[in-house]
Amino acid sequence: MKAEDIIDSSVPYVTTSYTCSRTLSLMDTFKVSYLPVIEDDLYIGIISEDEIYDKEMFEEPLSDFGVMRSPYVQSNQHVLDVLAVATHFSVPIVPVVNEDRKYIGAITMQNLLDAVAKMANVHSKGAVLVLEMGVHDYSMSEIARIVESENAKIISSYVTEYEDSTRIDVTLVVNMTEISPVVKSLERYGYKVNSFFSGSNKLDDFYRERYEQLMNYMKI
């Protein structure tokens, strides 16, 4: 899935000729705190209402505002690249440009989260397991072999690394709701199963917690 596939056409933009007060008015109308800024169809950067209030610039045009942050992705970049940019810059929208830096549109966090959820099969029936291990002990082929020996399939997975540590968490989504045989088999091979979730209510709680963690991290 590419960035161009999840652009939200309802996100407005402003040009450098807009005054700051007009920009604030547009933010209020659309209930957003950030807007992309363009000039002659080229992407310049993004502006936030906090930045405008901090500088106390209201009747001046955005062209007088100075250097703006300019997070963006190109239209053919992967959805996970969008997530990386959003978290790095802690912004609620990610502008999308073409190879000539012409503005195409913007991706909202809701669109991004929906896309990541779709990729991760979070709405599929099954269970989630979280394994803890050292980075040098990680072998997805071996983990998959163990899981499949219990007639289950891994339908998505991701690895969480920890700063200044060789520890990683490996999160698996499998297509089996009765997960006890898989857990026992993994433990028999020496894997530490930190937690597992099965059943719609527990899975909803698991994904809700991850959603809230992402939102807190991005300070939206």
CATH number at residue 170: 3.30.70.260
- State which of 97, 117, 137 marks the end of a domain: 117
Distance (Å, rounded) from C-alpha 3 to C-alpha 96?
7
Strand arrangement, sheet containing 103-108: 73-74, 93-97, 103-108
- State which of 76, 96, 117 marks the end of a domain: 117
Cβ neighbours for 84, distance < 8 A, ≥ 6 positions apart? none
| Residues 168, 195 share a domain | yes
Q: What is the pLDDT of residues 14-51, one digit of tens each?
A: 999 999 999 999 999 999 999 999 999 999 999 999 99
Full residue range of the structural domain in which residue 104 is found: 3-117
- 213, pLDDT greater than 60: no
Do residues 158 and 210 touch, judged by C-beta distance below 8 A?
A: no
Instruction: Give the model's pLDDT for residue 155.
Output: 83
| Residues 150, 56 share a domain | no
| Residues 69, 111 share a domain | yes
User: What secondary structure, in 3-state letters, does 51-80 show?
Assistant: HHHHHCCCCCEHHHCCCCCCCCEECCCEHH
- State which of 101, 117, 133 marks the end of a domain: 117
| Residues 113, 132 share a domain | no
| Residues 111, 134 share a domain | no
Other CB atoms within a 10 A radius of the CB of residue 152 amount to 23
- 220, pLDDT greater than 50: no
The number of folded domains in the chain is: 2
- 132, pLDDT greater than 90: yes
- 191, pLDDT greater than 70: yes
DSSP tag of 99: T
| Residues 129, 107 share a domain | no
If you compute the radius of gyration of the chain from its CA atoms, what whole number of angstroms results?
22
